[in-house]
A and B are shown apart, each in its own frame.
Chain A
Amino acid sequence: MARPIKETPELRGNDAVRFETLISTSKPVSKEEKERARKAYEVMKSISNFQW
């Protein structure tokens, strides 16, 4: 049997401060990356037997 899917813990102390710093200093994804993701989505939609 595979290992369990680990649960995301409640953030506290240094982890909470670190997390706040990471998301407040992160930068928007580049246009190129967004376009690559859009294309991936379009391909995935075209090969799926259900709608995303």
Chain B
Amino acid sequence: MKIDFSKLRQFQLTEDSDIKPFKCAEDDLNDFLFEDAKYFQRELMAVTYLLEYMEQNKTAAYFSLLADKIIFNPDEKGVWNKLNRNIPNSKRRRSYPAVKVGRLAVNEDYSGQGLGTFILDNIKYAFSNVKRLCCRFITVDALKTAVPFYERNGFQCITESDKDDETRLMFFDLKNFITE
């Protein structure tokens, strides 16, 4: 079903939100929206945004964001120093701030139309240019089936240790987004 992005409406999920019908191929993503998203919000652990397609009275997509950070083991001084070489000693930190995409899902009725990339583009721009909160990285806990999608959007795997897991941790370096 062809979707006109300008006819979507974006809301932040609240305790009173009436979540419009949503279904995608992954049960986990359906369950998170209807069973867990409000709990995460109530506990200040993740905020969920809904994209509703008013004409169809459906939730077209949703995504959940939370704070994250990339930390190096203190013993990895060589690597840490290399990463920090452009930062004066007095301003160096032991971790980099990040925003994590805890969940991102598109209703199966609207899949394949670039809605997921549209959401990621918005997050990239908001956190690199609007800067209400400064983050160096976007991280994501990606279902294995979604790894190619995130790779097409410039994400890379953080670790090899989760290559046999159901999900893979990936990152996008926002510095690349502001560098000419």
Contacts and interface: CB of A to CB of B under 8 A. Distances in A.
Q: Do A and B bind each other?
A: yes
Interface of A: 1-3, 5-6, 8-20, 22-24, 26-29, 33-34, 36-41, 43-44, 46-50, 52
Contacts of B176: 26-29
A30 to B, nearest CB: 10
Contacts of A5: 40, 46, 64, 66, 100, 102-103, 141
Contact of A34 (B71, B100, B118, B177): B177
Given A15-B159, A19-B158, A38-B125, A2 B76 contact: no
Contacts of A3: 28, 166-167
B161 interface: yes
Contact of A20 (B83, B129, B169): B83
Q: Taking chain B's interface residues, is the majority helix, strand, or loop, or is none over half, making it mixed?
A: mixed
A8 B68 contact: yes
Contact of A11 (B6, B72, B167): B72
Interface of B: 5-6, 8-12, 28-29, 31-32, 35-36, 40, 46, 51, 64, 66, 68-73, 75-76, 79-80, 82-83, 98, 100, 102-103, 118-119, 121-122, 124-126, 129-130, 132, 139, 141, 154, 156, 158-162, 165-167, 169, 173, 175-177, 179-180
